[in-house]
Structure 1
Amino acid sequence: MAVYTQLSAEVLADLVAQYDVGELVSAKGIAEGVSNSNWLIETTGSEANGNRFILTMYERRIDIADLPFFLGLLDYLAAHGCPVPRTIHDRSGASSRELDGKAVALIEFLPGVSVDRPTPSQAWNVGKVLAEMHEAAHGFRRSRANDLGPEASARVLAECGERALAAIHPDLPATIGVSREVAEQWPQGLPTSIIHSDLFPDNVLMRGDRVSALIDFYFACSDAMAYDLAVTHAAWSFSGDGRQFRADVGRALVAGYESVRKLNDEEREALPLLAEGAALRFVSSRAFDWIDTPADALVTRKDPMDFVRRLEYYQREGKDAFAS
């Protein structure tokens, strides 16, 4: 989440009036994240029907043609018992609208907090809910290709260029060659479903050890379920800067996942390479955003080296990173 576009109180009030949620009371920009502009909206609507929402304006890296997939997926998963926020449809029944030439959507606000340092118990429950989401999503009829796979990571890093990467950190240019090798070795034929593919701790809301919401599905796609687990492992099992691997959290995450859906032998064998690809995805996207983000945007830039350290750990430890 982030704020690239500034909207006046009058514009926000007019927009909220297009929904049956009451009148606008307050709107607060949310600075975290890098892809869209977001506001926490409070209205005069009843607490029973909801009076807090997330308003999203789609700015970067999201093809508007994919919005029916993203928003339809939220509604489908919510209807099938997953802790996922619903899309709020406007008075005409549309799940998104256009404002100043950009698409916007109003999303249900679900309570909970994102944890900075997850416990093994929290990680176990996240793994369980991730597997339940994969199982539920088998019935979703839409599909979307993963446009941020290993080949895309290799391409983005190459396009950033050695000089620009070195300006961020002298070790970054080496990831260009590594990303090509991972793309060439990428496993094929693993079991698929709709995956979240971006399940960082700040995209999970917790109430104690319980998962109250999975949010920010704007990178969801059709891909290998084990890859989604690898992405989540890379996001949850390390300190924020990637310097410390928390083996107990990693073990709990995988155990929680397998309490619902057992991995097959091919998936287990592929996990280390899938985790390398996951790390490289965030190295490439963070490097690109670091270079491309406007200086005046209300955005917190993220250090790609946090995931270079994860990449190096998976390269060094291999299967031991996923030992039970």
Structure 2
Amino acid sequence: MAGAGGRRAGAVVTGAAHELVFGMGPDPAVAPDWPPLSRAELDPVLREVGLGGAADLEWRSPRPLSAACRVRTADGRVVVVKRLPKALRTPEALGEEHAFADHLRANGIPVPVTFGARHGDAAVRGRDFSYEVQSVGVGDDRYGGDFSWTPYLSVDHARAAGRMLARLHVAAHRFDAPPRPARPLLSRLHTFGPGDPISKVADLIRQRPAVATFLAARDWRTDIARVHLPHHRRLAPLLDDLEPLWTHNDWHGTNLLWRGDGPSSRVTAVIDFGLSDRTTAVFDLATAIERSAVDWLAIRGGGAANVRFDQIRALLSGYGEVRKLTAAERRALPLLFPLVHADYELSEIDYFLSVVPGGNPENAEIAYRDYFLGHTAWIDTPAGHSLRNALA
């Protein structure tokens, strides 16, 4: 899961005692929380899905929140294997994502095939981990070394990404699975959906003990009332007019594969449904803009936002070529944007404190202060107002 993808650029040091991954704090590359996958570990996983064991590990992902690699199997096929701690995703939880991906594939969206375990699970069940095995998608991974919040390489890529996102939303209709339960690393329209956000966070605290302990040390009610609730009050009257829809929720260049250049650029595969859930189409569109159009890392360091207005226009134009926004969606887009990241950041706090071995309170604090609060607060700056006006 790439949104899940790390917040800093960093090189992967292959052949070292351990490989560095993207960092979330001031260091661009850090030691991983999870040991890299090895051939010895992968052999029984690949045999379990009928692929005959591992022959060669060709590439390891630099993304920090799980371990993933591209591996050539003993029978000559190339697949991607992702290892996720069960505290993050059980095979049953991965089955929710796979069901959505299967529906999209059956309705014309190019999504890599997942290899199920022989005993019927959506993923291979280890003692402490779940293992997800997928085919390699068609196309070039042109953002494989980039991090979340990276702009597209060109306005042509932004436009092509918008077209494919609209196709995905059209294909997602009639997939009627219920919303997913609260888990670490999920992007949802829940806390700032219909209802009272303070009560929603109180419910989350009752469900997720690590979040409860973290927020107990902070005046979170006052923070939310000051930073988020003014935006939610403006959005709330529109929420009932937004059609529920299962969505990708982590749409940016690193989760797409590509062919062609310039105006002929096109998306040839969509990957990583780890943050998918039942939200609404305009939530996914706002997320796509949040992931690619603002230099959040520069803002965090006191620099300029470097908003890519050209790419926002191109993405929205490409989207509109395939699917027109409803009147309610057009009104909701600039109002939803300040809140679109919030549920993910709460779930990221949960991940850092309940899933990472030993916990990582420093990263949890970054997620709360700089992202959960900081991104919304930036919208109330002159630069943030300019972006919100561009979405109106």
Residue 99 of structure 2 is aligned to residue 75 of structure 1 = no
RMSD in angstroms over aligned alpha carbons? Answer: 3.5
Is residue 2:163 matched to residue 1:128?
yes
Aligned to 1:320: 389
Residue 195 of structure 1 is matched in structure 2 by 247
* Secondary structure in 1 matching 2:322: coil
Cα-to-partner distance string for 1:230-284 (whole Å, 9 max, x where unaligned): 1111111112525221111111111111111111111111112211111333444
Partner of 1:32: 63
| Structure 1 residue 63 displacement after superposition | 5.8
Q: Percent identity?
A: 21
Q: Does the aligned pair in 2 maintain the 1:3–1:38 contact within 8 Å?
A: no
Structure 1 residue 178 and structure 2 residue 227: aligned? Answer: yes
The match for 2:274 is 218
Letter in 1 for 2:243: P
Q: Quick one: structure 1 residues 249 and 309, their matched pair in 2 at CA, closer, same or farther if it must change by over 3 Å?
A: farther
Alignment of 1:96 onto 2:145: no
Aligned to 1:235: 291
Match of 2:142 among 82, 106, 113: 113
Where does residue 140 of structure 1 map in the other structure? 175
Partners of 1:98 and 1:246 in 2: how far apart?
42
- TM-superposed CA distance for 1:301, in Å, is 5.6
Please, which runs of 5 or more residues in structure 1 have no aligned partner?
Answer: 167-172
- The alignment's TM-score, normalised by the length of structure 2, stands at 0.67
8 Å CA contact retained: 1:41, 1:52:
yes
Q: Which residue of 2 aligns with 1:161?
A: 215
Name the count of aligned residue pairs.
Answer: 312
**Mapped partners of 1:58, 1:216: distance in 2:** 16
Q: Which amino acid aligns with 1:224?
A: T
Partner of 1:11: 41
Q: Kindly state the Cα deviation for residue 55 of structure 1 after the two structures are TM-superposed.
A: 3.0
Please tell me whether the aligned partners of residues 205 and 211 of structure 1 are also in contact (alpha carbons under 8 angstroms): yes
1:151 to 185, 191, 202: 191
Distance 1:95 1:161, change over 3 A: closer
Per the TM alignment, residue 92 of structure 1 is displaced from its structure 2 partner at its CA by 4.9
- TM-score with structure 1 length normalisation? 0.79
CA–CA separation in structure 2 for the residues paired with 1:227 and 1:267: 9
Question: 2-side partners of 1:249 and 1:194: how far apart?
Answer: 25
Write the letter of the residue equivalent to 1:102: F
CA distance in 2, matches of 1:7, 1:140: 34
> 1:169 — aligned with what?
none
User: 1:9 is aligned with what amino acid?
Assistant: R
Shift of residue 225, structure 1, vs aligned partner: 0.7
CA 1:54 to 1:73, structure 2 compared with 1: closer, same or farther past 3 Å?
same
Inter-partner Cα distance in structure 1 for 2:172 and 2:55: 35
Letter in 2 for 1:179: H
Question: What secondary structure sits across from 1:117 in the alignment?
Answer: coil
